[in-house]
Amino acid sequence: MKARELKLNKDINYIQALEKAVREKYGDIATMNPKHFWDENKEKEYIEETKKAVKKEYISKDSKEKVEIDGIMVSKRVLTNSIDRTCKHCGSYSFKKEDDLYLNKYKCCYKCYVIKEEK
């Protein structure tokens, strides 16, 4: 029993010396219990942030899920996002990569954008 008490005593002395060295180098705040700075408002903020994070995680998980359509696995996200690839000016439907920018930004195809800019 005495050997165990001696070891425990050494451990406590070592911990105290370590805390003292940390306090001297970094200040009193470094050795304080984090619970000391916690209050009801911080608890409410933490709970709200946790709820938002969980909701975001579920949305992300849902968008990564795959659905089988005619033997092909397709992301649910692809099915829910409806991209309008129809030009508002000429009414043509475009599959061209160059039209992506113009359809997203100007709501018209590349051809209609160039004609509009020439006028």
Domain check: are 55 and 74 in the same one? yes
Q: What is the pLDDT of residue 101?
A: 77
Domain check: are 43 and 71 in the same one? yes
90: which 2 tokens?
């000429």
Q: What is the pLDDT of residue 26?
A: 93
Domain check: are 90 and 114 in the same one? yes
Specify the pTM. Answer: 0.35
Decide: 87 and 108 in contact? Cβ < 8 Å: yes
Domain check: are 118 and 94 in the same one? yes
**Burial track 84-108 (b if 16+ CB lie within 10 A, e otherwise):** eeebeeeeeebeeeebeebbeebeb
pLDDT surpasses 90 at 66: no
- Tally of domains in the chain: 3
Structural domain boundaries, residue 67: 38-82
pLDDT surpasses 70 at 38: yes
Domain check: are 27 and 44 in the same one? no
pLDDT surpasses 90 at 24: yes
Decide: 77 and 90 in contact? Cβ < 8 Å: no
Domain check: are 77 and 43 in the same one? yes
Domain check: are 95 and 117 in the same one? yes
DSSP H helices in 27-106: 40-64, 76-80, 98-105
82 φ, ψ to 5°?
A: -105, 110
- Letter for the amino acid at 79? L
Report d(CA 67, CA 28) in Å as an integer: 56
3-state class (DSSP) for residue 58: helix
- pLDDT higher at 9 or 51: 51
pLDDT surpasses 60 at 80: no
Q: What is the DSSP letter of 29?
A: G
